């Protein structure tokens, strides 16, 4: 087998070509006005905003930092600019059923006009009605009605009193509004009770019979007086209505004529007219308590609450369809709520305290929400689903829905909903909603999936340059030079972990531009140069480099034992990646293996002590399967083995060390030393093929830092899977060391290639040594068994594993 050669420098980093960029800096680059690398998401958004059917709301999904919110909002604003402004909505008092205010739709811009017109009309009435009632003409007519009624009542009572005189009875006023007949003396005055008691029984009976007869007539007269009172009130009411209508003048008729084409407004104005006639006391200050209550509840103290207009949604003719983003999507902020006020220890509310939610403001347009935030707010998600499912907006209080308050509240008429909701979230939220909420897919049928990367083609590099120019312009940063843009694009490829792709993480790009701008500004530069970008990246690594530096110091001082020179049997340098949310670094880890006589079992020490994850255990099982297939196809392996990550005190997971663990086992089984100047990463399958892994750049750089700290010898390097070569975007210091032939990178595709590099022998020779050892152990087994058998028994045939290995071809790349 041919020994793999180190990768050339050109395979370790893909630099931008200067010829692909024809500008000096980003000042001359037009800003980006379209999506970049998100054709699929753009198509989904276009479909979701164009289809006008229930259930086609949008869920924009993608990893954090991609700029989903910015791109979705920009798209919705462009779409809404071509759509007309929606209708105005207002709530009006229902004079028949005050608990159920009317929801009234008016054309765009007319809601504010109607509110202004009605306010002006009511304010005029507040002046006109008191003036109309405070004049001599009204007083004379009212007094005449009162006098006429009083005269008729007096005449009826006098006639009845005259009729009672011959019977020696006197009509007296016993209490306010109450009359009765009593016996009279010779002078016509009411007889004293003592005098009446001294009369003989026959005379007293005559008086009682006369009183009973006259009281029957009195009751008839009193009923007539009641009718006269009623007639008087009706005449007074008619007078009041006449005066009130005169005070209204043409104002009400003008309103009715102006809004005649709107049936709800016409009906409201009719009901308003009747209510004005029934509640003149509001304008005449006849009910002080009601006046105080109105002032305490109403937001506009100039106008009685019942005659106000609660304009919940208003637009102008120059507006277009709204795009609303609700940063705090609570239940009340989404679907609206009804406020309360406390007056004299009592909680009160009315229709003027109805407050709209984000869905009201977005009605006829688009609503942008963060999925995780709305799910974290109690009842907000249920409120949103109810509105989308029913297609209408019902304003209600949570207290009433949950039955935790016994106070009387309002039941406003619902408002039809015509709004496209766009939720923003990651894949975890999307999967959770799809799995746990059966209504989700019925309401959010459009999923706009945002890509994390795009191909690194010349046109895409130009689009990315425009994205850089847009961010620079929007944040008022220094322009970026051509070389600076090239270096940023190269860093974007490193973030994408692929030489042929560019990361679309807008947040990381924005951070890098700000940090480079800061460094360039500190040095009084006119633009961001490539050196500023390099320094910004170095400063970022330095800020997050406390733990890596501590680990490197521990390795160089042998507190953590990692060998970077010499040879050891059953010991390999594996590579891991550790880090936090925004910073990862590679770290070598010593893997050791010991073998001993046994039954072919491989002990994963990490799993045995519950420090190994399921993926790591899977990798160990796979390499065990490979070994059994290679050396134990016809008989049990007479060896047991143990594997461990030395000085590992935290959890270990992933299968990227399975190649290193396999070579470590082969070294222990063959009793051949492993070169400690090399480190290795890669996973394997049961057929011995090397599979790609993640974090390849960080792993290489982690081992390089150890070798650099101890001194580069020219023999050190890292072995990686062949598939990971396209992911290499190594740092400048690693590239320089490779250029000076002080550090090397090898790529392998088969286990045998890694074995040859690390053990210094062709894999076939290594396998033969292992086979010889296994044959010796099996022979020992057989000899022990033969001692227990009779001397005349025949010896069973044995097949040499070494011969089988020699006859079996070894795979090559």
What phi and psi, each to the nearest 5 degrees, are found at residue 429? -65, -45
766 neighbors 755 (Cβ within 8 angstroms): yes
For residues 171 and 446, give the distance between their C-alpha atoms in angstroms, rounded to a whole number.
Answer: 90
What is the residue whose two structure tokens read 């009309």?
A: 121
Q: What does DSSP say about strands 323-325 and 366-370: parallel, antiparallel, or unpaired?
A: parallel
DSSP 225-289: HHHHHHHHHHHHHHHHHHHHHHHHTTHHHHHHHHTTT-HHHHHHHHHHHHHHHHTTHHHHT--HH
350 neighbors 97 (Cβ within 8 angstroms): no
748 neighbors 754 (Cβ within 8 angstroms): yes
36 neighbors 475 (Cβ within 8 angstroms): no
How many other C-beta atoms lie within 10 A of the C-beta of residue 539? 14
For residues 66 and 179, give the distance between their C-alpha atoms in angstroms, rounded to a whole number.
Answer: 92
Catalytic residue among 149, 470, 656, 658: 656
Distances (CA, A) of 527 to 183, 440, 710: 118, 49, 39
Catalytic residue among 14, 68, 501, 699: 699
Alpha-carbon Rg for the chain in angstroms: 48
Q: Partners of 190 in the beta sheet?
A: 184
CA dihedral for 657, 660, 666, 672, sign (positive or negative): negative
For residues 274 and 546, give the distance between their C-alpha atoms in angstroms, rounded to a whole number.
Answer: 80
Q: What tokens were used for 742?
A: 């002080």
Half-sphere exposure of 763 (CA within 13 A, CB side): 21
Q: Partners of 175 in the beta sheet?
A: 178
User: Among residues 154, 148, 186, 146, which one has the least CA distance to residue 170?
Assistant: 186
3-state secondary structure (DSSP) of residue 92: strand
For residues 357 and 417, give the distance between their C-alpha atoms in angstroms, rounded to a whole number.
Answer: 12
For residues 760 and 758, give the distance between their C-alpha atoms in angstroms, rounded to a whole number.
Answer: 6
What phi and psi, each to the nearest 5 degrees, are found at residue 730? -80, 160
* H helical segments located in 652-695: 658-670
DSSP state of 708: H
3-state secondary structure (DSSP) of residue 322: coil
Q: What tokens were used for 173?
A: 């006023």
User: Among residues 394, 356, 393, 357, which one has the least CA distance to residue 377?
Assistant: 357
Q: Partners of 342 in the beta sheet?
A: 347
699 is catalytic: yes
364 neighbors 86 (Cβ within 8 angstroms): yes
For residues 41 and 323, give the distance between their C-alpha atoms in angstroms, rounded to a whole number.
Answer: 19
Distances (CA, A) of 146 to 240, 246, 269: 14, 22, 32
Q: Which residues are catalytic?
A: 656, 699
């Amino acid at each position: 087998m041919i020994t793999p050669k180190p990768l050339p420098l050109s395979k370790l980093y893909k630099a931008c070509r200067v010829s692909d960029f024809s500008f000096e800096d980003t000042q001359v680059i037009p800003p980006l006005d379209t999506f970049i690398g998100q054709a699929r998401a753009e198509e989904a958004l276009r479909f979701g905003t164009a289809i006008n059917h229930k259930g086609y709301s949008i869920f924009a999904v993608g990893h954090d930092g991609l700029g989903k919110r910015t791109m979705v909002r920009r798209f919705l604003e462009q779409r809404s600019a071509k759509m007309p402004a929606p209708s105005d909505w207002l709530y009006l008092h229902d004079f028949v059923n005050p608990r159920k205010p009317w929801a009234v739709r008016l054309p765009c811009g007319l809601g504010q006009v109607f509110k202004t017109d009605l306010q002006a009309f009511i304010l005029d009435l507040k002046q006109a009605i008191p003036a109309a009632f405070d004049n001599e003409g009204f007083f004379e007519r009212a007094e005449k009605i009162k006098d006429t009624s009083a005269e008729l009542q007096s005449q009826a009572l006098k006639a009845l009193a005259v009729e009672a005189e011959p019977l020696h009875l006197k009509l007296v006023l016993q209490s306010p509004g109450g009359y009765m007949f009593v016996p009279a003396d010779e002078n016509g005055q009411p007889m004293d009770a003592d005098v009446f008691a001294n009369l003989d029984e026959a005379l007293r009976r005559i008086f009682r019979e006369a009183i009973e007869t006259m009281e029957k007539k009195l009751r008839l007269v009193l009923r007539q007086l009641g009718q006269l009172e009623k007639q008087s009130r009706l005449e007074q009411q008619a007078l009041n209505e006449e005066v009130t209508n005169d005070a209204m003048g043409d104002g009400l008729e003008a309103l009715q004529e102006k809004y005649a084409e709107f049936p709800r407004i016409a009906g409201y104005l009719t009901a308003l007219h009747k209510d004005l006639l029934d509640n003149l006391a509001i304008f005449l200050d006849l009910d002080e308590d009601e006046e105080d209550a109105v002032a305490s509840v109403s937001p506009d103290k100039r106008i009685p609450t019942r005659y106000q207009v609660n304009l919940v949604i208003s637009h102008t003719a120059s507006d277009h369809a709204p795009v609303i983003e609700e940063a705090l999507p609570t239940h009340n902020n989404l679907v609206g709520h009804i406020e309360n006020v406390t007056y004299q220890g009592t909680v009160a509310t009315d229709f003027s305290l109805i407050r709209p939610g984000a869905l009201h403001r977005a009605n006829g347009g688009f609503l942008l929400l963060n999925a995780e935030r709305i799910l974290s707010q109690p009842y907000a998600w249920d409120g949103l689903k109810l509105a989308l499912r029913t297609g209408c907006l019902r304003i209600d209080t949570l207290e009433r829905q949950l039955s935790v308050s016994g106070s009387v509240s309002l039941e406003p008429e619902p408002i039809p909903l015509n709004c496209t909701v766009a939720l923003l979230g990651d894949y975890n939220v999307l999967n959770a909603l799809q799995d746990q909420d059966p209504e989700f897919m019925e309401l959010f049928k459009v999923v706009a999936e945002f890509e994390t990367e795009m191909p690194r083609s010349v046109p895409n590099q130009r689009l990315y340059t425009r994205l850089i120019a847009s961010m620079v312009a929007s944040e008022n940063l220094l322009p970026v030079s051509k070389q600076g843009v090239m270096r940023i694009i190269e860093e974007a490829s490193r973030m994408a972990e692929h030489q042929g792709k560019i990361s679309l993480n807008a947040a990381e790009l924005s951070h890098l531009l700000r940090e480079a701008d800061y460094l360039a500004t500190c040095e009084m530069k006119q633009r961001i140069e490539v050196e500023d970008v390099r320094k910004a990246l170095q400063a970022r690594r330095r800020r997050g480099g406390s733990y890596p530096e501590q680990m490197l110091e521990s390795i160089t001082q042998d507190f953590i034992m990692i060998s970077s020179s010499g040879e050891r049997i059953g010991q390999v340098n594996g590579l891991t990646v550790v880090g936090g949310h925004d910073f990862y670094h590679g770290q070598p880890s010593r893997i050791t293996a010991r073998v001993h006589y046994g039954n072919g079992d491989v002990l994963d020490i990490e799993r045995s002590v519950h420090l190994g994850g399921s993926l790591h255990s899977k990798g160990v099982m796979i390499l065990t399967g490979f070994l059994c297939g290679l050396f134990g196809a016809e008989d049990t392996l007479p060896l047991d083995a143990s594997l461990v990550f030395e000085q590992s005190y935290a959890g270990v997971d992933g299968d990227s060390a399975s190649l290193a663990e396999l070579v470590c086992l082969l070294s222990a089984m063959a009793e051949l030393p492993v070169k400690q100047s090399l480190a290795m990463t890669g996973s394997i399958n049961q057929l011995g093929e090397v599979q790609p892994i993640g974090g390849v750049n960080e792993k290489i750089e982690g081992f390089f830092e150890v070798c650099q700290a101890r001194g580069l010898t020219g023999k050190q390097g890292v072995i990686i899977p062949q598939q990971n070569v396209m992911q290499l975007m190594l740092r400048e210091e690693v590239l320089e060391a490779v250029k000076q032939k002080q550090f090397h990178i090898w790529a392998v595709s088969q286990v045998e290639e890694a074995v040859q590099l690390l053990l210094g022998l062709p894999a076939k020779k290594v396998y033969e040594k292992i086979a010889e050892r296994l044959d010796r152990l099996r022979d020992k087994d057989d000899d022990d068994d033969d001692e227990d058998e009779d001397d005349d028994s025949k010896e069973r045939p044995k097949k040499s594993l070494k011969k089988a290995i020699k006859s079996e071809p070894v795979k090559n790349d």
